[in-house]
Structure 1
Amino acid sequence: MRIGQNPARIDTPAYTPQKIGLASLVFIPHLEGYFQQSLSILRAHLMSLHAHTQEPFDLLVFDNGSCREVKDFLNEMQVAGWIRWLVSSEVNLGKTGALNWILAALPNPIVGYADSDVFFRRGWLQASLDILEGFPQVGIVTAQPCFFDILRGEGRAAAHVFTPEQIEPYTPEAWVVEEYCRGINAPADLRQRYLSTPLPLVRNAQGVAAVLGASHMQFIAYREVLQQVLPLPATRGLSPEEDRVFNQRIDDLGYLHLSTSRPLVVHMGNTIDPHLQPEVEAALGTAISASPQLSLPSGGSLPRRWLGRLAKARPFKRYFLQLYNALYEIYSER
């Protein structure tokens, strides 16, 4: 039986979601072999998201059956305030299976998604929103030029929105192609093809440019659009064909796949590229300095050299000294 009245009934407000909800999907079954650097990659992913997203957002992290060390790290990150919603699955539902949960659950009008090995650069969200809100019939927007046509030439939506005269050839700078190829470990012949093949680019009346095509590695979209493609088939852990169903259904509904003309997100893969390392370290410092009320899990997996550089660099040196002195006084109390 119930004794007394539930305190939640007495003027307890419910949380009002932000306009933008972002989701990250994590699957790190162990920390050996291919996955030995995955915890550092995950940390870089989360810190870059917080450091380089100026707009308010809610963050949902879906753990898709990771190992205990990763689950502990994510729990600590949520307790520290870096994660709004944390879903922890005991089993791996597959990427599309997890997407069914994520896209159905997020209550925000605009939804973003990223694999947990994606690094975010400053301005990624605003550039994506400029395209999402500035073009007609937008389905998903990726913050990196789309080099690979997931629909393999079978997409039809763009032809109903743009005339051939509205599509112009766009050749990204060589470093953009090289960075993309390193992220996917592209062979030499594919790298050469991307270097020599222009991308199709369109512009709206305001001059905002967008590349035709988008990736399911990272995207933003209107929630009402994403709801129309669910449920996705989910029989495999990671299946290119099941991934392709997501993009195909968006195209079948008449919605566009678009991407930014500059790489504002980077696919890190399972190691941090030396070219990207300075950006990763800077993002960690920016995230911590911008959110001093939040702490970072101090597990042994945190690279000591990151903290060493951070503690000696301005303006963080003074902050860390103050933190050290405060902790010393607290732990010295009798």
Structure 2
Amino acid sequence: MRIGSNPEKFKKELETEIYHRVVIPVYIPHFEDYFKDALEIFKLNIHSLLKTCHEKTRITLFNNNSHSLVKEYLDELYRDNEKIDQVFHSKENLGKINAILSAVKGNLEPLITIADSDVMFKHNWQKEVEKIFINFPKAGLVSPVPNSVSYKYYTANNFFDAVFGSSKLRFQKVVEPSEMQRFEDSLGPEVSLFSEKHLEKYLTLSRKGFRAVMGAGHFVATIRREVFDKGTNSPAFIKIQGGVENKFIDKPNEDLGLLRLSTMSNYAYHLGNVTEDWMFEEFQKISENKPNSFTEYSNTNFLKTSKLKIKIGKAFRKILLSKFLKKKYFKMIGLDDGKNY
């Protein structure tokens, strides 16, 4: 039986002062071979985040069937840290995307940062990312790690805005080439991502004097929640590879007419699966900094870009990056030699 009325029924709207959520899926099944240093890497990840995120932030940790000691550590983090307000445990490894979707769908924040558990956050990462959302109202996905080759991928709206809108394309000198090289190194010795030219200049988009790098990766990225709300509602049946992130993140962002950008300087590290001395040295620098302030980001509604404009953007991206025009066009916007860039 039921006696009386639940008082929550009369509260029509949910309200929160928190506007930024960080979601981190964690999968550490054991402590051998590939996962030998995984827990130590994750500790650098979560403690760097706790030291650098502002007070308007909350953190969700999703345990994808990790070792029991990892589960205990996650529960300990939840008990001891106010900013970690959600820890989910799954007895199956649901994969990165399903873990993210599980967390995102049940929260209210307009900005959602997704990050792998091997990311170390630097001081001011959040402030610099949020500044891009403020200065580019149609930004949909922003990374704190610039990548000079990402201008090619899912950037149709960037090109449309540069050709027909209020933004301008221009090559600029890479602010921190050594940090970009460090990112490539973190991917393993078999990966060659950047040429010498990529470490010298990257393609940037500017609006009213504010500049950001074209394109972004998503091992750590901040995304407007509309990308999840208006994207596909189906689950992901592939854990990591096979274009699963394209389907659930990249394509919805582009289909909404939103921009894909990165910060000019590097504000996070990809650590990989092996600890190195430099990681602890950099973490010590983070420890010495004061906590971040928040930007008072206010979520702005945006008009969804028409399918025609998105198609035009894709067409211009294809034309401008074609072998017939790319070299000439890139020289026109500040690259001395656009060949093989």
TM-score, scaled relative to structure 1:
0.75
Tell me which residue corresponds to 1:213.
215
CA distance in 1, matches of 2:153, 2:57: 35
Deviation at 1:79, TM superposition (A): 1.1
Q: Secondary structure at the match of 1:163?
A: helix
Deviation at 1:281, TM superposition (A): 3.5
Alignment of 1:81-120 (within 5 A): 81=81, 83-120=84-121
Are residues 26 and 161 of structure 1, via their aligned partners in 2, closer, same or farther at CA, if it must alter by over 3 Å? same
CA distance in 2, matches of 1:54, 1:222: 18
CA distance in 1, matches of 2:275, 2:290: 18
Q: Secondary structure at the match of 1:257?
A: strand
CA distance in 1, matches of 2:252, 2:7: 45
Is structure 2 residue 52 aligned with structure 1 residue 52? yes
Deviation at 1:136, TM superposition (A): 3.5
Alignment counterpart, residue 237 of structure 1, candidates 225, 233, 239:
239
CA distance in 2, matches of 1:191, 1:261: 16
What is the Cα-based RMSD across aligned positions, in Å?
3.1
Deviation at 1:120, TM superposition (A): 0.6
Are residues 239 and 122 of structure 1, via their aligned partners in 2, closer, same or farther at CA, if it must alter by over 3 Å? same
CA distance in 2, matches of 1:66, 1:39: 10
CA distance in 2, matches of 1:242, 1:64: 17
Amino acid at match of 1:229: G
Deviation at 1:85, TM superposition (A): 0.6
Q: Secondary structure at the match of 1:105?
A: coil
Amino acid at match of 1:208: F
Alignment counterpart, residue 275 of structure 2, candidates 269, 272, 284:
272
Figure out how many residues of one structure are paired with residues of the other and give that number: 285
Deviation at 1:86, TM superposition (A): 0.7
Alignment of 1:1-334 (within 5 A): 16=16, 18-81=18-81, 83-149=84-150, 152-153=152-153, 155-163=155-163, 166-172=168-174, 173-185=176-188, 187=190, 189-192=192-195, 195-196=198-199, 198-205=201-208, 207-231=209-233, 234-245=236-247, 246-283=249-286
Identity over the aligned pairs, expressed in percent? 25
Are residues 213 and 52 of structure 1, via their aligned partners in 2, closer, same or farther at CA, if it must alter by over 3 Å? same
1:170-189: per-residue Cα shift (whole Å, max 9, x none)? Answer: 33243122211122225474
Q: Secondary structure at the match of 1:225?
A: helix
Ranges in structure 1 where 5+ consecutive residues have no aligned partner: 289-334
1:101-126: per-residue Cα shift (whole Å, max 9, x none)? Answer: 12212211222211111111111011
CA distance in 1, matches of 2:15, 2:32: 39
1:3-32: per-residue Cα shift (whole Å, max 9, x none)? Answer: 9999999x9xx9845122221111111111
Amino acid at match of 1:121: K
CA distance in 2, matches of 1:75, 1:174: 39
CA contact (8 A) 1:60 1:86 kept: yes
Q: Secondary structure at the match of 2:59?
A: strand
CA distance in 2, matches of 1:135, 1:117: 28
CA contact (8 A) 1:120 1:264 kept: yes
Q: Secondary structure at the match of 1:63?
A: strand
CA distance in 1, matches of 2:263, 2:39: 28
Deviation at 1:194, TM superposition (A): 6.2
Are residues 188 and 88 of structure 1, via their aligned partners in 2, closer, same or farther at CA, if it must alter by over 3 Å? closer
1:69-126: per-residue Cα shift (whole Å, max 9, x none)? Answer: 1111001111112521111111111112222212212211222211111111111011
Ranges in structure 2 where 5+ consecutive residues have no aligned partner: 292-341
Of 138-147 and 105-114, more deviation after overlay is shown by 105-114
Of 214-223 and 257-266, more deviation after overlay is shown by 214-223
CA distance in 2, matches of 1:134, 1:239: 33
CA contact (8 A) 1:100 1:230 kept: no
CA contact (8 A) 2:52 2:124 kept: yes
Are residues 153 and 265 of structure 1, via their aligned partners in 2, closer, same or farther at CA, if it must alter by over 3 Å? closer
TM-score, scaled relative to structure 2:
0.74
CA contact (8 A) 1:130 1:208 kept: no
